[in-house]
């Protein structure tokens, strides 16, 4: 009973208009959830630019941090996020839908308890490794070891800095879906390959090939999404069919059944699952983009034409020599033909 009363008092102190109400709750939506532990959730969707970095919104007069757990700032205009967040015990920070173009170094250094960072639906093209750099109590560089989930979906990311994961080595969820991420370059390969026991989301990008070295152990992945990419089904991606598909089917059977080829044209819309079941071996594309499979019909047509043309020409020559045809009399040297040509010419000269 005492625990119940304490909980009621705690809720009232957080959502009431009293002096103990955290400042963000005066301009944002606040709620308390109680499943296994009490969580204080703050959601700010208005006036974000003005309130987000005000120190008094994060700390009281005694320099004590307010007990925010899950904080969301959305629908703001924060193109250059360079201010360092004040110290907070929050575990989740959502900065989606803020038109963020760039993020400065050490911005999250004071959020040592943060486990989830959502940067989705912004305009990020690249992320500097020092964005996730932190410092310990002695001022020495320290990684954000508690960060487990990083959401970067729906941005403009084409490549990752090779060192971007150096300060977030304990990352367990990496979402890069809905980006223009093209062929995995060496820098992106290095960045992702440093992570293990990962949930990796690469859906709806511009991936046509995937390096097997991208993940050290694909069988150690906890989740995977590579759907909605323009996959090229040729020998360099053979490992996707032979090695990755069994893992993908186990992790995400629904997605594994619908992933399909986009090129070459004769493989378009063929499903990976069908290739896996049939144990198909995909051919290698010619370096000069030659397509012998598509040229076959044309070659057969040319050969058939030659085979028909040769006997036809020989027959015409034979017929001419035998006087069966005279090419309309032009090449006829008989006396009758000569007389016809002479009188025709004489007729043309009359008036």
316, 287: one domain? no
Give the whole-angstrom CA distance, residue 351 versus residue 345. Answer: 12
CA distances from 302 to 74, 290, 310 (A): 65, 18, 12
Is the model's pLDDT at 12 over the cut of 70?
no
Is the model's pLDDT at 247 over the cut of 90?
yes
- What mean pLDDT, rounded, does the chain reach? 86
Q: What length does the chain have?
A: 351
Q: How confident is the model at residue 258 (pLDDT cuts 50, 70, 90)?
A: very high
**Residue 3, pLDDT score:** 47
Torsion over CA of 199, 204, 207 and 208, rounded to 10 degrees?
120
**Residue 6, pLDDT score:** 47
Least reliable range by pLDDT among 251-260, 263-272, 321-330: 321-330
* pLDDT, tens only, 77-105: 999 999 999 999 999 999 999 999 999 99
**Residue 349, pLDDT score:** 52
**Residue 33, pLDDT score:** 81
Strands 149-151 and 116-118 turn out to be parallel
Give the whole-angstrom CA distance, residue 327 versus residue 318. Answer: 13
244, 334: one domain? no
319, 221: one domain? no
Is the model's pLDDT at 50 over the cut of 50?
yes
Mean pLDDT of 133-160: 90
Percent of the chain past pLDDT 70, that is, above it, reads 80
275, 252: one domain? yes
Q: Helix (H, G, I), strand (E, B), or coil: what is residue 94?
A: strand
Percent of the chain past pLDDT 90, that is, above it, reads 67
195, 288: one domain? yes
Residue 3 lies in a domain: no
**Residue 13, pLDDT score:** 45
Q: How confident is the model at residue 5 (pLDDT cuts 50, 70, 90)?
A: very low
Give the whole-angstrom CA distance, residue 191 versus residue 189. Answer: 6
Q: What is the CATH number of the domain that holds 191?
A: 3.80.10.10
Residue 213 lies in a domain: yes
281, 314: one domain? no
Rounded to an integer, what is the distance from CA 136 to the centroid of its chain?
35
Give the range of the structural domain holding residue 61, as residue numbers without chain letter.
11-293
Is the model's pLDDT at 17 over the cut of 50?
no
Q: Are 205 and 181 in contact (CB under 8 A)?
A: yes
Q: Which phi and psi (to 5°) does residue 108 adopt?
A: -105, 15
Residue 47 lies in a domain: yes
Q: What is the DSSP string of 213-264?
A: GGSS-GGG-SEEE--SS-EE-SGGGHHIIIIIHHHHHHH-HHHHHH-BEEES
Number of H helices, E strands in the chain: 10, 15
Q: How confident is the model at residue 46 (pLDDT cuts 50, 70, 90)?
A: very high
Residue 122 lies in a domain: yes
Is the model's pLDDT at 348 over the cut of 70?
no
Q: How confident is the model at residue 15 (pLDDT cuts 50, 70, 90)?
A: very low
What sign results for the dihedral spanned by CA atoms 55, 61, 62, 64? negative
234, 331: one domain? no
Mean pLDDT of 325-351: 55
Is the model's pLDDT at 41 over the cut of 60?
yes
192, 116: one domain? yes
- When computed from its CA atoms, the radius of gyration of the chain, rounded to whole angstroms, is 36
Residue 299 lies in a domain: no
**Residue 169, pLDDT score:** 92
**Residue 322, pLDDT score:** 65
**Residue 351, pLDDT score:** 47
Is the model's pLDDT at 16 over the cut of 60?
no
pTM, rounded to two decimals = 0.78
Mean pLDDT of 99-117: 96
Q: How many folded domains does the chain comprise?
A: 2
Least Cα distance to 85 among 111, 62, 104 occurs for 111
Q: Are 30 and 40 in contact (CB under 8 A)?
A: yes
Residue 140 lies in a domain: yes
209, 330: one domain? no
328, 206: one domain? no
DSSP 83: S
288, 311: one domain? no
**Residue 313, pLDDT score:** 81
97, 144: one domain? yes
Residue 298 lies in a domain: no
Asked, as a colleague might, if the bond just before 264 is cis with ω within 30 of 0, I would say yes
Q: What angle do CA 17, 20, 25 make, to 5 degrees?
A: 55
Strands 173-175 and 199-201 turn out to be parallel
Residue that wins the pLDDT comparison between 11 and 174: 174
Is the model's pLDDT at 158 over the cut of 60?
yes
């Amino acid at each position: 009973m005492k625990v119940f009363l304490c909980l009621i008092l705690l809720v009232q102190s957080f959502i009431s208009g009293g002096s103990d109400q955290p400042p963000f709750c005066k301009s944002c939506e606040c709620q308390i959830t109680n499943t296994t532990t009490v969580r204080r959730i703050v959601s700010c969707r208005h006036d974000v630019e003005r309130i987000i970095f005000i120190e008094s919104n994060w700390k009281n007069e005694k320099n004590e941090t307010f007990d925010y757990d899950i904080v969301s700032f959305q629908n703001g205009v924060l193109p250059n996020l360079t201010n360092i967040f004040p110290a907070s015990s929050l575990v989740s920070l959502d900065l989606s839908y803020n038109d963020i173009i760039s993020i400065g170094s050490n911005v999250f250094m004071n959020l040592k308890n943060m486990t989830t960072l959502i940067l989705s639906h912004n305009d990020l093209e690249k992320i500097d490794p020092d964005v996730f750099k932190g410092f310990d109590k002695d001022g020495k560089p320290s990684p954000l070891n508690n960060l487990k989930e990083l959401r970067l979906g729906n941005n403009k990311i084409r490549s990752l800095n090779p060192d971007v994961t150096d300060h977030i080595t304990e990352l367990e969820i990496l979402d890069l879906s809905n980006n223009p991420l093209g062929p995995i370059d060496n820098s992106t390969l290095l960045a992702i390959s440093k992570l293990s026991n990962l949930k990796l989301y690469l859906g709806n990008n511009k991936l046509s090939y995937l390096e097997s070295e991208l993940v050290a152990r694909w069988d150690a992945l906890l989740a995977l999404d590579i759907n909605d990419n323009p996959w090229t089904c040729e020998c360099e991606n053979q490992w996707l069919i032979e090695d990755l598909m069994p893992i993908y089917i186990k992790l995400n059977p629904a997605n594994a059944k619908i992933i399909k080829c986009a090129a070459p044209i004769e493989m378009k819309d063929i499903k990976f699952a069908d290739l896996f079941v049939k144990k198909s071996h995909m051919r290698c594309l010619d370096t000069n983009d030659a397509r012998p499979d598509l040229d076959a019909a044309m070659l057969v047509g040319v050969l058939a034409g030659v085979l028909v043309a040769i006997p036809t020409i020989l027959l015409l020559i034979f017929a001419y020599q035998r006087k069966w045809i005279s090419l309309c009399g032009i090449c006829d040297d008989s006396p009758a033909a000569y007389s016809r040509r002479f009188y025709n010419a004489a007729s043309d000269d009359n008036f």
